[in-house]
């Protein structure tokens, strides 16, 4: 028997038993749709969360005093103090392009025309921060010798206060902890930056001043950097560069705690977790598919039972075991293919809808379609194997006797 | 004339659990080309079992069955299916048409299993259906046909692959007398054209129409 003829028989049987065909395909449709939805949502989560990390500067590394882990026995207790000496050391490390020491001050009050807002302020060395300098929209950027000047992020200048702040305006910053307060002149406003990075953050809500300005504003005895951002020349060699940085810093910070983070490894770590989540979700879809598969086994068994007499007739007029087996396998395979395709379309639609609701990118990827469809056809064919071989093995005399 | 069918020392025993039930005992029959033979006997005598053995639907427990001088008793399933498809035409009491296929498809079916090209199948199925007066019933499904029409479709189906033997198991058993006579006329015509026919029947009148009657009782020819 030619495959094409078997195909024709299969379509005749689908046509003849529309309701049964639809009911049995529903299981696979729902199963495949579930797999596609789960995988796509998982993929969307990955893309969405990676997007939050943004156009992260993947060749940026951050050196920070202290550490995430609790101090263990036998490990240094004292947090490293990062100062200009460390900046020079890091600048000397092979593979390091730029070194940007930063100080972050939290909970600073900024007063402008009798309005007060709570802010975080970054102290920087302007000559080392070309990236920020490039984003000046109005006014000018800071110079290393500036003392009472500040530069504002886009939102701070234009949206935070009732009146927009322009270059030339004066504001007052105060630090509630020490009750100090200083007047500053706004010299520049940065442009609207969408860009955010896990380590850096968008500049929109930031305020910048020089380290000497920060030191005198806060009036603290031992001023040191909160962290040092290091720009690495070659992202591919980031691990080696970090090793060299550690080696260089060891000389002055032998018994002190500090950490070096790179954004890539954090992204990798998060992506790894999300990938597991994605396949976990896919697994839930697979359970739905398995239930659909059991449905197909049931329907195919029922079909075989219903067609015992027909199988007997076919054998009597010359069909061999292979012909009968092929017929039933093609029937369940087509059932899987057609309902799998419908499932993919429905699943893609649902995934798109969820992505709109959840506000993350819709990502019905080719692999999730292939996996969904493959599982659908696979389930249907596997589900058809037992009924098909049962039909093929049937004794023609017995089969003909059946009513 | 050469034997189309030769049955030698055939026994058939069914195994029901531990119990052996002998159904056919030491059967020896020879049928020559062009013969019209009736197998007659009371129900339970083993007529249908004998037909199933001749038709390669079943294998004898011992003995040999030759069809066109080919020993069918030690062929495998594939080869038996091929013999059923090519050398034997079956006509059943209950017609055994496939209800969801129309007359045309039912007649085409045996040719599909012999991998005959579609165009050829179409021509042959049409030719036979027309020959049996079913030219306007080709796209009707069996439930839309009368008993006589159904049996004529079945006869057309049995002939499509030009078999050497036509096996008919009570072909008029489910038909009224007049329709039964019409069907018998078809068999007589086919036989007069050279077809070898073996027919199981318990109706004496019908047996009388055949050249030879083989009587069977308690699994033995008498």
- Check A316 against B98: CB less than 8 A apart: no
pLDDT for A374 beyond 90: no
Residues of B in contact with A7 (CB under 8 A): none
- Check B109 against A317: CB less than 8 A apart: yes
Tell me the mean pLDDT in the region B38-49.
Answer: 90
pLDDT tens figures, A138-166: 999 999 999 899 999 998 998 889 889 99
pLDDT at residue A185, rounded to an integer:
94
- Cβ neighbours for A88, distance < 8 A, ≥ 6 positions apart: none
Q: Which of B81, B105, B161 sits opposite A315 (nearest CB)?
A: B81
pLDDT tier at A69, thresholds 50, 70, 90: low
- Check A2 against B113: CB less than 8 A apart: no
pLDDT tens figures, A275-328: 888 788 778 877 877 777 787 778 778 888 888 889 999 999 999 999 999 988
CA distance to partner chain A, nearest, from residue B71 (Å): 18
- pLDDT above 70 covers what percent of chain A? 93
Residue A209 DSSP one-character state: E
Residues of A in contact with B113 (CB under 8 A): 1, 314, 317-320, 323
Task: Take residue A87 and report the two structure tokens written for it.
Answer: 């900046």
Q: Which of B57, B105, B110 sits opposite A396 (nearest CB)?
A: B57
Which of these, A78, A79, A101, A80, lies nearest to A90 by C-alpha position? A101
Q: How far is CA A233 from CA A82, A94, A100, A107, A240, in A?
A: 22, 9, 14, 34, 11
Q: Which strands, in side-by-side order, build the sheet including B36-40?
A: B88-91, B165-169, B196-201, B36-40, B212-217, B220-221
**Which is the CATH superfamily of the domain at B33-59+84-221?**
P-loop containing nucleotide triphosphate hydrolases (3.40.50.300)
CA distance to partner chain A, nearest, from residue B172 (Å): 18
Element (H, E) at B206: helix B204-208
Residues of B in contact with A321 (CB under 8 A): 77-78, 81
Phi, psi of A221 (to 5 degrees): -70, -50
Which of these, A194, A160, A249, lies nearest to A54 by C-alpha position? A194
Interface probe for B, chosen from A2, A8, A306, A317 (most Cβ of B below 10 Å), is A317
- pLDDT above 90 covers what percent of chain A? 22
Q: Give the SS3 label for residue A316.
A: helix
CA distance to partner chain B, nearest, from residue A397 (Å): 6
Tell me, yes or no, if B97 comes closer than 8 A to chain A by beta carbon.
yes
Tell me, yes or no, if B96 comes closer than 8 A to chain A by beta carbon.
yes
Instruction: Give A349 or A269, the one with higher predicted confidence.
Output: A349
Residue of chain A whose alpha carbon sits nearest to that of B166: A317
């Amino acid at each position: 028997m030619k495959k094409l003829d078997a195909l024709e028989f299969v379509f005749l049987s689908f046509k003849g038993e529309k309701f049964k065909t639809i009911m049995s395909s529903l299981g696979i449709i729902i199963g495949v749709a579930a797999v596609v939805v789960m995988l796509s949502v998982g993929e969307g989560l990955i893309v969405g969360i990676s997007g939050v990390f943004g156009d992260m500067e993947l060749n940026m590394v951050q050196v920070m005093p202290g550490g995430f882990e609790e101090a263990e026995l036998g490990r240094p207790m004292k947090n490293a103090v990062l100062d200009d000496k460390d900046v020079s050391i890091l600048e000397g490390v092979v593979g390091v392009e730029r070194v940007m020491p930063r100080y972050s001050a939290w909970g600073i009050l900024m007063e402008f025309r009798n309005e007060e807002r709570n802010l975080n302020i970054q102290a920087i060395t302007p000559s080392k921060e070309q990236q920020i300098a490039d984003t000046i929209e109005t006014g000018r950027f800071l110079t290393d010798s500036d003392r009472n000047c500040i530069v504002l992020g886009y939102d701070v200048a234009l949206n935070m206060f009732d009146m927009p702040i322009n270059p030339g305006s004066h504001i007052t910053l105060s630090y509630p902890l020490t009750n100090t307060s200083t007047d500053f002149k706004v010299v520049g406003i940065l442009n609207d930056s969408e860009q955010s990075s896990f380590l850096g953050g968008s500049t929109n809500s930031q305020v910048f001043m020089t380290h000497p300005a920060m030191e005198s504003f806060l009036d603290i005895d031992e001023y040191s950097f909160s962290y040092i951002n290091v720009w690495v020349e070659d992202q591919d060699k980031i691990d080696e560069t970090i090793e060299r940085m550690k080696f260089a810093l060891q000389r002055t910070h032998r018994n002190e705690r500090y950490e070096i983070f790179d954004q890539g490894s954090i992204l990798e770590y998060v992506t790894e977790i999300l990938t597991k989540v994605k396949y976990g979700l896919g697994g839930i879809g697979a359970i739905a598919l398995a239930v659909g598969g059991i449905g197909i086994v049931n329907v195919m068994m029922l079909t075989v039972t219903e067609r015992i007499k027909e199988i007997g007739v076919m054998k009597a007029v010359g069909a061999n075991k292979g012909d009968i087996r092929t017929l039933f396998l093609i029937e369940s395979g087509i059932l899987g293919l057609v309902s799998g395709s419908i499932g993919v379309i429905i699943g893609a639609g649902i995934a798109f809808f969820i992505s709109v609701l959840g506000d993350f990118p819709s990502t019905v990827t080719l692999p999730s379609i292939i996996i969904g469809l493959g599982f659908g056809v696979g389930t249907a064919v596997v589900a058809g194997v037992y009924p098909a071989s049962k039909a093929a093995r049937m004794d023609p005399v017995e089969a003909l006797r059946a009513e | 004339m050469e034997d189309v069918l030769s049955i030698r020392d055939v026994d058939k025993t069914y195994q029901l659990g531990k119990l052996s039930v002998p159904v056919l005992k030491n059967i020896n029959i020879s049928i020559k080309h062009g013969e019209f033979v009736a197998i007659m006997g009371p129900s339970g005598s083993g007529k249908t079992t004998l037909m199933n053995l001749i038709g390669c639907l079943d294998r004898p427990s011992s003995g040999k069955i030759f069809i066109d001088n080919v020993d069918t008793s030690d062929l495998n399933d594939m080869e038996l299916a091929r013999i059923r498809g090519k050398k034997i035409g079956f006509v059943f009491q209950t017609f055994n048409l496939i209800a969801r296929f129309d007359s045309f498809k039912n007649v085409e079916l045996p040719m599909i299993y012999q991998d005959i090209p579609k165009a050829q199948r179409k021509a042959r199925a049409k030719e036979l259906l027309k020959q049996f007066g079913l030219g306007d019933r080709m796209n009707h499904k069996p439930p839309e046909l009368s008993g006589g029409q159904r049996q004529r479709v079945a006869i057309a189906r049995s002939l499509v692959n030009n078999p050497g033997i036509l096996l008919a198991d009570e072909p008029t058993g489910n038909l009224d007398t007049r329709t039964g006579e019409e069907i018998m006329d078809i068999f007589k015509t086919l036989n007069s054209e050279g077809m070898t026919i073996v027919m199981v029947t318990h109706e004496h009148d019908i047996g009388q129409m055949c050249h030879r009657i083989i009587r069977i009782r308690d699994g033995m020819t008498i």
